[in-house]
C-alpha cells in the first residue's frame, strides 16, 4: 500500500495550478442500482486515523475526486468519540495530508501546498487559525513531532550531484542524460534527487536550525518508492531519531534489499546501525513508550522483497534482538504499542483477510483479536479502543473502533452511506477447492447483483498481480470486483500459489515457477467454476495486471480453447527483455533465478524457456493490452510488443496506451477510460 504522501502527490494534484471549485462530497442520486465507473470515482476515500492525545477524538482524511477537473482533493475531519459528531476542519482547493496531533493536543500539524510548495502548517483542533510554520526550500515530504515538542523531524528531496555537470555548462537546452550506473530511474521517475531526513528546532511557531542528519550521504531515506514517515521515529526521550535507509547506490542498490535502521543521537551527532548484520528489509522502527524496546518489521533474506515480514524487538539496554513472530507463519505490519509498553498490536493477512493481533511481551504470546472477511489497516489507540480502517470487497474504507478484549467492531464513520444505500452489491462467496496436485485452495466468487440462478453468465478469471502478496478484501478503485460483477460477469478470484496469508511455503512456490503450479491453479479454479449450470463455459475471459498480466499473456498460448477473451494490463510479455529493462534487479534475480545468459542456471533457463512470448505461435484469442509509459517496473514496450505480436498473428487486439500513467492508472478520466475500454472489449467477445 502506498504511503499517503506519495498517493497524494501522484493522485490528488497537490501541485496543480489554477484550481477551480473545491472538490468535495457529491450527494448523488443514482438512476440505477448498478455500479458504474463514475459512481466508483464518487466514493470518498477514508484514510489515516490519528487519535488525539487524550483519546477523546480521532482526526482522519477523506479524498474526493472530480472527473471534470481530473484531479482529487483531500480534506481533514474530526470525530468526537463520545458524541459521534463529525466536523470537517479543512476545506481548501489544496490537499491536506500527513496530519498529526501535536503531543500536547493543542494543535494539529499537517502538510499542504497552499503556499505554492508543500510546507508544514498548524491549526487549532476545530480548524481555526491556520498558520504556516515552515519555509523549507523545495518543500517537505513528511514530518513528525518530537515527544517533548522541542524538535520536528522532516523529510525532503535533495538534488543529486551530477558528476558530468561540466559537459552541460554551456548547453542549457540539452535534454540528454549521461549515465554510468544503474538505478537511474525507479518506479515512475528518473532519479534526480534522493530523500533525506532532517531535524529542526521547534519553538511552537516555526522551524529553526534545520540539520541533515544523514550528513549529505547519497542514499534514500525513507525508502522509495513506497516508504513514508512510518520509517522515521523519535525515541520517547526526544534525544535521538531512528530512520530506515539502504546505504547502497547504483548497481548494488538495484541488486540488494538490505536496508537497516539507523539511530542518530541528537547530542553527540553520532549514527549507529541498530540492525547491522540483518540482511533483508528492516523498516518501520517503533519505540515502546517506556523507551526500553524498539520494534520493527524485518525480512531475513537479502534480495527477496516478499520474504516473511517478521516482528522483531530490540532491547535497547542489552542489545538483545527478539524474534517475536518466530512461531507465527504470517506477516506483521501496522505496529502499534499500548501505553504501558506491555503489548504490541499489529495486522496480518490470513486466508483472504487482514486481522488484528496482539503480542504480549511478558509471555511472548500472540492472540488474534478480530475475525471475519474484512481488511483492517492503519491502527491507532484512543483510550482503551483501537481505531482502524475497515473495508471489504463490497464496502469502501470507513473508520471502526475495536474492543481489544473481545474484538467487537463498531462503525464510526459513514462517509459513503448515501451511495451504498443506492447500490446493489453482488454476493461474495468463499470456496475451497482441490488443486491439480491435491492442495486446498481458497477461491472467491463474486456474483452479479440480482443474480438469477436460472440464468447463465459469462465468467472472468481474475489473475492476481504481485506475484506474491495478499488476495484479500480490498475495495479497489480499478480492479474492483463489484463493478465487474455489475456488468453481469461472475468473477473467479483464486488464491493461487504465491499468495500470502497461507504460510510462507505456499507463497514461495511461485518464485522460479510462474508458468507452473500457479497457472495450473488458475485453470483448475476456472474449470471448477465452469461446471456450474449458471456459468457459460463457452464465454470465459481472463484478466489481470502486472504478474496477472504475465499470467494472461502466458494463458493466451496455453489455454486449450478455454477462454474467448483476454485483458492484460502492465504485464510481462518477454522475460529476457524484462530482465534488462526493469530497475529493481533484486526482484528479477530472486523470482526469475538470475539472468538469461547463465546457461548453467537451471532455474533461470526454465523460467526464460517459458516466457509468454515463446507461445505467440499459439495465440488465437482476442486480447486487449493496456500499458502506461511511466511504468518503469514493467516497461511499456512489453505491452507494445505483445499488441504488435497479436496484430501480426491476425489475432483481434486493441492497445490502450497511457503516456502519463505508471504501473497504475491514477487520473480520474484515464481511469474511467480504462473501465469503459475494459468492459467494451469484454462485452464484444463474451456477450
416-422 long-range contacts (CB < 8 A, ≥24 apart) are 416/43, 416/44, 418/27, 418/28, 419/28, 419/30, 419/39, 419/42, 419/43, 420/395, 422/28, 422/29, 422/30, 422/33
How many alpha carbons lie under 13 Å from residue 23 in its C-beta half-sphere? 28
Q: What is the DSSP letter of 649?
A: T
Other beta carbons within 10 angstroms of residue 410's beta carbon come to 11
Closest CA to 498 of 459, 544, 561, 430: 544
Distance, in Å, from the CA atom of 421 to the CA atom of 398, rounded to the nearest integer, reads: 15
Q: How far apart are CA 521 and CA 415, in angstroms?
A: 38
Going by the DSSP 8-state scheme, the letter that residue 456 receives in this structure is -
Given 515, 559, 569, 663, the catalytic residue: 663
Q: How far apart are the two ends of the chain, measured CA to CA in Å?
A: 35
195 is catalytic: no
569 included as an active-site residue: no
Rounded to whole angstroms, what are the CA distances from 687 to 446, 449, 459? 18, 17, 11
Specify whether 663 is catalytic.
Answer: yes
Chain centre to alpha carbon of residue 531: 35
Looking at residue 104, the DSSP 8-state letter turns out to be: T
Q: Which of 48, 334, 591, 631 is catalytic?
A: 631
Write out the three cell numbers for 533. Answer: 449450470
**Catalytic annotation, pick one of 47, 500, 546, 611:** 546
**3-state secondary structure string, 5-49?**
HHHHHHHCCCCCCCCCCCCCCCCCCCCCCCCCHHHHCCCCEEEEE
CA 218 to centroid of chain Cα atoms? 26
CA 602 to CA 273: how far, in whole Å? 37
Q: Which residues are catalytic?
A: 546, 631, 663
Amino acid at each position: 500500500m502506498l504511503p499517503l504522501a506519495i498517493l497524494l502527490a501522484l493522485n490528488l494534484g497537490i501541485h496543480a495550478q489554477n484550481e477551480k471549485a473545491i472538490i468535495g462530497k457529491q450527494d448523488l442520486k443514482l438512476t440505477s442500482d448498478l455500479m458504474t465507473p463514475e459512481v466508483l470515482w464518487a466514493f470518498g476515500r477514508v484514510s489515516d486515523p490519528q487519535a488525539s492525545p487524550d483519546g477523546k477524538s480521532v482526526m482522519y482524511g477523506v479524498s474526493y475526486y472530480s472527473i471534470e477537473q481530473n484531479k482529487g482533493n483531500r480534506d481533514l475531519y474530526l470525530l468526537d468519540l463520545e458524541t459521534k459528531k463529525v466536523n470537517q476542519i479543512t476545506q481548501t482547493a489544496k490537499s491536506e495530508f500527513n496530519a498529526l496531533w501535536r503531543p500536547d493536543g493543542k494543535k494539529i500539524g499537517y502538510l499542504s501546498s497552499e503556499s505554492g510548495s508543500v510546507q508544514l502548517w498548524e491549526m487549532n483542533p476545530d480548524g481555526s487559525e491556520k498558520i504556516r510554520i515552515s519555509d523549507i526550500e523545495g518543500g517537505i515530504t513528511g514530518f513528525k513531532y518530537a515527544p517533548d515538542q522541542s524538535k520536528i523531524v522532516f523529510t525532503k528531496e535533495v538534488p543529486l550531484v551530477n558528476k558530468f555537470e561540466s559537459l552541460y555548462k554551456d548547453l542549457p537546452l540539452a535534454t540528454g542524460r549521461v549515465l554510468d550506473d544503474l538505478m537511474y530511474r525507479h518506479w515512475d521517475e528518473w532519479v534526480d534527487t534522493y530523500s533525506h531526513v532532517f531535524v529542526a528546532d521547534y519553538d511552537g511557531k516555526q522551524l529553526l536550525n534545520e540539520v541533515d542528519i544523514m550528513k549529505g550521504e547519497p542514499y534514500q531515506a525513507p525508502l522509495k518508492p513506497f516508504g513514508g514517515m512510518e520509517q522515521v521515529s523519535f525515541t520517547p526521550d526526544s534525544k535521538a531519531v531512528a530512520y530506515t535507509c539502504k546505504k547502497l547506490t547504483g548497481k548494488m542498490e538495484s541488486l540488494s534489499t538490505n536496508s537497516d535502521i539507523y539511530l542518530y543521537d541528537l547530542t553527540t551527532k553520532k549514527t549507529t546501525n541498530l540492525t547491522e548484520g540483518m540482511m533483508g528489509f528492516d523498516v518501520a522502527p517503533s519505540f515502546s513508550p517506556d523507551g526500553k524496546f524498539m520494534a520493527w518489521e524485518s525480512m531475513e533474506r537479502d534480495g527477496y522483497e516478499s520474504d516473511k515480514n517478521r516482528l522483531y524487538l530490540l532491547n535497547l539496554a542489552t542489545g538483545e534482538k527478539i524474534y517475536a513472530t518466530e512461531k507465527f507463519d504470517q506477516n506483521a505490519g501496522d505496529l502499534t504499542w499500548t501505553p504501558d509498553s506491555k503489548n504490541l498490536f499489529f495486522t496480518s493477512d490470513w486466508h483472504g483477510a487482514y486481522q488484528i493481533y496482539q503480542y504480549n511481551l511478558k509471555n511472548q504470546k500472540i492472540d488474534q483479536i478480530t475475525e471475519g472477511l474484512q481488511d483492517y489497516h492503519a491502527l491507532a489507540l484512543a483510550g482503551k479502543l483501537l481505531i482502524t480502517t475497515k473495508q471489504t470487497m463490497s464496502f469502501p474504507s470507513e473508520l471502526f473502533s475495536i474492543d481489544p478484549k473481545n474484538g467487537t467492531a463498531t462503525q464510526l464513520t459513514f462517509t459513503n452511506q448515501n451511495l451504498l444505500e443506492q447500490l446493489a452489491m453482488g454476493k461474495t462467496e468463499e470456496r475451497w477447492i482441490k488443486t491439480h496436485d491435491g492442495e486446498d485452495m481458497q477461491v472467491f466468487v463474486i456474483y452479479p447483483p440480482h443474480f438469477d440462478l436460472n440464468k447463465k453468465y459469462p465468467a472472468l478469471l481474475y489473475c492476481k498481480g504481485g506475484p506474491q502478496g495478499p488476495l484479500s478484501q480490498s475495495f479497489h478503485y480499478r480492479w474492483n470486483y463489484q463493478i465487474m460483477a455489475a456488468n453481469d460477469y461472475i468473477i473467479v478470484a483464486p488464491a493461487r500459489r504465491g499468495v500470502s496469508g497461507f504460510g510462507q511455503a505456499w507463497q514461495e512456490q511461485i518464485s522460479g515457477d510462474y508458468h507452473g503450479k500457479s497457472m495450473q491453479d488458475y485453470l483448475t479454479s476456472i474449470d471448477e467454476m465452469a461446471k456450474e449450470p449458471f456459468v457459460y463455459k463457452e464465454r470465459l475471459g481472463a484478466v489481470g495486471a502486472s504478474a496477472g498480466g504475465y499470467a494472461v499473456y502466458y494463458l493466451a498460448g496455453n489455454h486449450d480453447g478455454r477462454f474467448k477473451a483476454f485483458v492484460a494490463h502492465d504485464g510481462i510479455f518477454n522475460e529476457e527483455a524484462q530482465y534488462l529493462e526493469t530497475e529493481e534487479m533484486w526482484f528479477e534475480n530472486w523470482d526469475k533465478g538470475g539472468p538469461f545468459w547463465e546457461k548453467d542456471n537451471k532455474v533461470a533457463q526454465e523460467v526464460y524457456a517459458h516466457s509468454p512470448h515463446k507461445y505467440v505461435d499459439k495465440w488465437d484469442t482476442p486480447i486487449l493490452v493496456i500499458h502506461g509509459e511511466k511504468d518503469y517496473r514493467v516497461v511499456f514496450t512489453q505491452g507494445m510488443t505483445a499488441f504488435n505480436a497479436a496484430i501480426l498473428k491476425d489475432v483481434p487486439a486493441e492497445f490502450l496506451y497511457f503516456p502519463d500513467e505508471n504501473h497504475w492508472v491514477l487520473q480520474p478520466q484515464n481511469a474511467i477510460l480504462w473501465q469503459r475500454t475494459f468492459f467494451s472489449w469484454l462485452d464484444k467477445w463474451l456477450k
